[in-house]
Amino acid sequence: MKKYTHAWLSFMAIKRLEQSYISQSNQKYSSSLIEWFKNHNDDVIQGAWYPDAIIKDMSTSHIYKFTPSNIGNNYYGCLPTSYNIYREGKNSALYNTYFKLDSGNLPYRCEAIAHSIIDNLKMKESEDKGSPICPTNNHIANLFFMLSHYIADAHVPFHCDSRKFSSGVDIHAKVEGIWEDYVKDHYLIDQNNKDRFEYDGIYPKFDSSQQISYNNTILPWIDLEIQNRNFYITWGSGNDNVLEFMQDICHYSYLCSHLFIPTHYDHLSVTNANWDQLQNNISFDDLSKYILIDAIDSIARVWLRVWRKYQQWL
């Protein structure tokens, strides 16, 4: 995904926590997390783009790529039942067939940053003000935004499929470019500082002159889902932590890749003319909707659980 898409997803994750029904026992954690973000949301664009701009671990930690196989693993695991990529993935002909991991460590990266956030929050709580090892809230917020980046990337099918869709006509960049335009065309970016949105409250400000264009995109559907879709805090049956949850996200992302670009196609047979009509089992619009709302949900879930773990330690 690209720069503004990543930042927008981070904001939408907070909106999801604010607008969806969270069970009574988790409400206090959600409320305090939202409140904390309201005071530390200035550097979302920079933070959510840090992995691409500064860290540059794209070929390892932004991916977890699989290929169909005769041996290996055929356990795909379970995601929360509201997940679109879970429902669609289970319809794939590859579901329950063997796959092997070719490259990447994305779920481990997510687990590591999640731990690091909790550690930094504990250090901040424990250290005296002015201590040289006391992390700042802005530093911790930046880690949250970086974590958001890696979580979002896992939902992009091309990040979990070994076929080389960044080669040839680069379908990967083309698809991510369309999502980036959704964000850039409908939300206002501060013209004096391109690393900031204009704000409406704490969220990116909608460009009302683009209402008609907006109505013709998938964005209204996503907005409704942010409010209405059930929010389950579970990692999915059988999963106990960020690592296991993110591994299953990657498994279903791989299956969705094969639904969208059928198995016998590769980067040499996909062109700019045929990329979205390859007898695919899922339309581009549906794929986009499902990926983006599931990514928002995942960021919200991981953030909330990380925050809750810290709060319970307090």
Q: Which stretch binds Zn ion (CB under 5 A): 66-74, 129-137, 152-160, 216-224?
A: 152-160
Residue 153 or 294: which CB sits closer to Zn ion? 153
Which lies closer to Zn ion via its Cβ, residue 62 or residue 229? 62
With respect to Zn ion, which residue has the nearer C-beta, 62 or 301?
62
Half-sphere exposure of 207 (CA within 13 A, CB side): 15
**List 62, 186, 258, 308, residue binding Zn ion (CB under 5 A):** 62
Closer CB to Zn ion, 62 or 258, in the complex:
62
Count the residues of the shown chain that bind Zn ion, applying the rule CB under 5 A: 2
Q: Give the amino acid at 224.
A: L
Using CB under 5 A, which of the segments 34-42, 57-65, 115-123, 248-256 binds Zn ion?
57-65
Question: How far is it, in rounded angstroms, from Cα 307 to Cα 313?
Answer: 10
- Work out whether the CA dihedral 243, 293, 304, 53 comes out positive or negative: positive
Please report how close the Cβ of residue 187 comes to Zn ion at its closest, in angstroms: 20
Contact range with Zn ion by CB under 5 A, out of 96-104, 153-161, 218-226, 248-256: 153-161
Nearer to Zn ion, 153 or 297 (CB): 153
Q: According to DSSP H, which parts of 127-188 are helical? A: 137-154, 171-186
3-state SS class at 278: coil
Between 62 and 251, name the residue whose CB sits nearer to Zn ion.
Answer: 62
Whether the Cβ atoms of residue 155 and residue 253 lie closer than 8 Å to each other: yes
Rounded to a whole number of angstroms, the minimum distance from the CB of residue 124 to Zn ion is 27
Closest C-alpha to 64, from 187, 173, 170, 155: 155
Which of 234, 250, 267 has its CA nearest to residue 61? 250
- Residue 43 CB, nearest distance to Zn ion (Å)? 17
Which tokens go with 232?
């389950």
- The dihedral sign for the CA sequence 221, 226, 227, 229: positive
Find the part of the chain contacting Zn ion (CB under 5 A) among 7-15, 36-44, 61-69, 294-302: 61-69
Q: Which is nearer to Zn ion, 62 or 186 (CB)?
A: 62
Chain residue at closest Cβ approach to Zn ion: 62
Strand 199-200 relative to strand 203-204, pairing: antiparallel
Among 153, 161, 294, 297, binds Zn ion (CB under 5 A): 153
Judged by CB under 5 A, the stretch of 60-68, 161-169, 219-227, 265-273 that binds Zn ion is 60-68
Report the Cα–Cα distance between both ends of the chain, in Å, rounded.
35
Q: Which residues bind Zn ion (CB under 5 A)?
A: 62, 153
